[in-house]
Amino acid sequence: MQGNGLAGSAASGTVPAMPMTPEQIGAEACQLPTEQMNELVDQLLAECFARPDPEIDDAWRTETRRRVAEIQSGKVVGIPGEEVMSEVRKIIGL
């Protein structure tokens, strides 16, 4: 007699993978050593922010063009990078 799919799979030594819930994934991740958990968080963040968002890309493109036009027209004067970095170093105490 044929059993259900799970029993048939178990008989052959394999069990079909069940998707994990976010809660289960979080619980598993909390069991990792701190360094591995940090690596996982870094990977997840990189993946989330690596996905292009056309609306954000368009907004930045528009903003960049506006800023370049302001500099080219003389409406805004840029600040040299070394001057900016010197001010940053002062602010953060370096």
Q: Which two tokens stand for residue 91?
A: 């602010």
Distant-in-sequence, close-in-space partners of 67: CB < 8 Å, separation ≥ 6: 76
Q: What pLDDT sits at residue 78?
A: 92
Q: What pLDDT sits at residue 3?
A: 45
CA distance 91 to 94: 8
Q: Which two tokens stand for residue 27?
A: 């619980």
- How do residues 3-43 score in pLDDT, each as one tens digit? 444 444 455 567 778 899 999 999 999 999 999 999 999 99
| 18-to-5, 9, 15, 51, 73 alpha-carbon distances in Å | 13, 13, 9, 26, 60
CA distance 28 to 93: 40
- Could you tell me the pTM of the whole model? 0.43
- Identify the DSSP state of 16: P
All structural domains of the chain with their residue ranges:
19-92
- Identify the DSSP state of 22: H
